[in-house]
Amino acid sequence: MKQTGIKQLGQNRAASHEYFILERYEAGIELFGTEVKSLRAGKLSLKEAWCQVQNGEMFIRQMHISPYEQGNIYNKDPLRPRRLLLHKREIQYLSGKVKQDGYSIIPLRVYLKDSLIKVEIALCQGKKLYDKRESAAKKDAQRQIDRAMKAYNTRG
């Protein structure tokens, strides 16, 4: 029986701090059996992961999937490049954007969707230091407003 719904396995929290996220895409990922078992256990890191187009195919690099404990000889290299499954048109579009405009393709999260493992990737543009400061200031101001509203609502 197939499972339905979405279960998040891991996400790249630093991506929204480091980049402006312009477009999001859902991609399948080519994995081996022990990698799937390790992912289902939530043993992955997207912290330093990035995507690259090579020979008309999209690969995710530096995504760390911990070796499966019971996998012994079947375990693969935790940092090996893994192929992402996208439509050819999407890959060509993203490749053109990265070459011309200096954008990056960054994985945002990995999740289970109806028992299939999917990766959400995004076309991103790097933030400058002043952009990061501005984002932090907005977040801090919103936090203070929320705190004041909460205090006001509990008194009244």
User: What is the arithmetic mean of pLDDT over 91-118?
Assistant: 89
**Do the domain assignments include residue 136?**
no
Angle at 45 between CA 119 and CA 131, to 5 degrees: 80
**Do the domain assignments include residue 48?**
yes
**Do the domain assignments include residue 142?**
no
**Do the domain assignments include residue 59?**
yes
User: Which residue range(s) make up the domain with 29?
Assistant: 6-127
CATH number at residue 111: 2.40.280.10
Q: Which helix (H) or strand (E) holds 93?
A: helix 88-101
Q: Which helix (H) or strand (E) holds 155?
A: helix 129-155
**Do the domain assignments include residue 26?**
yes
pLDDT at 119: 93
Give per-residue pLDDT as tens, 106-141: 999 999 888 889 999 999 888 888 788 888 888 899
**Do the domain assignments include residue 76?**
yes
pLDDT at 3: 61
Which DSSP string do the residues of 121-133 spell out, in sequence order? Answer: EEEEEEPPHHHHH
Instruction: Record the tokens describing residue 124, joined without a space.
Output: 């991103």
**Do the domain assignments include residue 143?**
no
Residue 2 has pLDDT above 80, yes or no: no
**Do the domain assignments include residue 10?**
yes
Count the domains in the chain.
1
